[in-house]
Amino acid sequence: MIEVFEESFPLARAFTISRGSRSAAQVLSVRICRDGHEARGECVPYARYGESLDSVRAQIEALPDGMSRLELQEALPPGAARNAVDCALWDLEAKRTGVPVWQLAGLERPKALITAYTLSLDTAEAMEARAREEAHRPILKIKLGTPDDMARLEAVRRGAPHSTIIVDANEGWSAEVYSDLAPHLVRLGVALVEQPVPAGEDAALIGLARPVPVCADESCHDRASLPGLAGKYDMANVKLDKTGGLTEALALRDAARAAGLKVLVGCMVGSSLAMAPAHLVAQGAAVVDLDGPLLLAADREPPMRHDAQGLHAADPALWG
C-alpha cells in the first residue's frame, strides 16, 4: 500500500530567492507498507516545473500497489512524484533484506560531506550581517538574480572573507550580464555560478568565455538533458526531485562525469528524509549543496547529524 500525505517543516528564517519567499518547507511524504515493513520517501513539488502538491499527490495516488522500482521508472516521468516513491522503494528493499541502500546500489560506505550553506536573497546590509554570522562555514551559497547583485556579493565577501562562495542566479541573468560580472566574480573568489540564464535561452552560453564555471540546474533534469548541456555548462546539478529519485540520480551522476561535466549534488528545501538518499549521490561530488535540514527550525527524528566533519549519513531508522 502506498500512502501520501503533506507535511510542513518551519524554517529557522524566511527563505527568499528571486522568485519569491517562504517560511516553511511544504513537502509530500510517501509511506509504503509491505510484508510487515514500513518505508518512506519525501519530495518537494516545484512550481517552476509545473508541479504542485495536488498534482504530485495525484500522480502518486494513481500508482498501483506492488509496483517495483524498475516498473516505476516507466510509470512516471522524472520529477517529484517519482522521487518520493523511488526513494521509498529503495528504503523498503533495505528493510526487507537488512542490507543498507549504499550496499544494494554497489556504492562505497558513505562518508560525512561538507555542504554549502545558503544565504537567501535580502538587502546587501542584511546579507553581510548573515554572512558574518555564518562565516565559520566553509562554503556559502548566495541567492542572486537581481539588478543589485554586485552590492550583495561584495557585502557577503566582506562578511565572510575566508569562505568559498558559490552563486545561484536562478535564471535571473543574461549571457551578457554573466560576461560583465565575470571579472568581479573572479576578483571576489566565486567558485561557480548556477544557472545564470533561463533554461530556454542557454544557447547564448555556447562559445562564451566562462572564467567562473557555470553549472546547469534548471537545464538539467535527467540523462536525457545531457546532450543539451554540451558547450554551455561546466557542471551539472543533480537533484533527486528533478531526476525522479535515487535510481536516475545515480545514473545521471555517472553519465555527467562520462560527458566531461563536474557534478554538484543539490536539493530543494526539505527535511533529512529527502537529504538521506541525496547524500549517497553526493559522495565524490565536486560540490555538495544539501543544506535543507540546516535551514529548518525543526527536522525529522532522527535527523541527519551535522558537525565539523560535515553532514553524516542517515541513521537507518530514518532511511536506508
Q: Tell me which residues are annotated as active site.
A: 143, 239
Cα dihedral: 57, 42, 108, 217 (round 10): 80
Measured CA to CA, the distance from residue 230 to residue 42 in angstroms comes to: 31
Within the chain, how many helices (H) and strands (E) appear?
10, 13
- What is the CB-side half-sphere exposure of residue 239 using CA atoms within 13 A? 27
Measured CA to CA, the distance from residue 320 to residue 315 in angstroms comes to: 8
Q: Please list, in sequence order, all residues whose beta carbon lies within 8 angstroms of the beta carbon of residue 227, skipping any fewer than 6 positions away.
A: none
- Residue that the C-alpha cell 527550525 belongs to: 297
Task: Tell me how crowded residue 99 is: count the other CB atoms within 10 A of its CB.
Answer: 11
- Largest Cα–Cα separation, the chain: 59
Which grid cell is 313? 549519513
